[in-house]
Structures are given as structure tokens and as C-alpha cells.
Amino acid sequence: MCRDFGLKEGLAYAVDSHAINGVATITSVSVDSPAISRHQLIMLQQILPHLNEALARPSPWEQPNLTAKELEALKWAQAGKSYWETGKIMGISERTVKFHLNNVYRKLNVVNRSQAIARAFSLGCLSA
């Protein structure tokens, strides 16, 4: 099939599910020359996995899809409230607050509340 488009040589690298967003990706490089040199082949084998990873990542400028409850819990975290205090304010259990904040951490690709607040602020989800 590739030959029908004038392509003779190439490599492809595929990932079935990206760790952050679950997107399956394939990155390929094709050339119309009769053969790829050994040097080019080695270079492509080294670069393609990293290129595929970079292309699959969500954009750092992309707005995360935070729910109203997740955003509210994050705003109370920004204000310095504990899980318990946030739960009382929002009328939900402490465990549910943790659930919402863990979803925020996953969506923002961070590991704790300080990182989540900083990332959300930089993305414009939170204001000072």
C-alpha cells in the first residue's frame, strides 16, 4: 500500500495507551529513497519513541476538563482548607473531597495539592 504512494522505506512506532490520557498513537517516518542508511535507521529507532511520546502528551496549555465539584474542592484547597473543612463547607464527606482532589491530580498530571494549585493557576483555572 505504501508503494502506491511512492514510499519505499520507513519505520513506525506505536503505543496502545498513553499513561496520561489513554490515547493510542502511532508515529511513522517514510521516505521515497530506495533504502534508509544504517545511520538513519539507528537515528530513527532512537528518536521515534520519544517523538511519539511528545506528540501523545496533552498540551500544557490545554484546559483540563475539571467538574464543578473538582474545581470547588481545588479552590478550597487553595484557601488552605483541610479535607474535613472542605467537606463541611461543601456538604460532602471527607472521603468524597479526597476523591475529587485525586481526580484533579490525575487530570492535571500532578501528585499533590501544592502542584495541583500551581498547575491550575498557571492554566487559568484558579485566580489569586
Domain ranges of the chain: 2-56, 68-122
Q: What is the mean pLDDT of residues 21-50?
A: 78
Whether residue 4 is predicted with pLDDT greater than 80 in this model: the reply is no
Mean pLDDT in the chain? 83
Higher pLDDT, 82 or 1: 82
As given in the structure block, the three cell numbers for residue 128 are: 489569586
22 pLDDT band (50/70/90 cuts)?
low
Q: Comparing 77 with 50, which gets the higher pLDDT?
A: 77
CATH number of 68-122: 1.10.10.10
Specify the pLDDT at position 20: 55
If phi > 0 it is left, if psi is from -120 to 50 it is alpha, else beta; for residue 23 that is beta
Please give the Cα distance from 88 to 86 (Å, whole number).
5
pLDDT: which is higher, 109 or 25: 109
Examine the pLDDT at 13 and tell me if it is beyond 60.
yes
Reported pTM: 0.55
* Per-residue confidence (pLDDT) for residue 70, from 0 to 100: 96
Q: Is the pLDDT of residue 103 over 90?
A: yes
Mean pLDDT within 36-52: 84
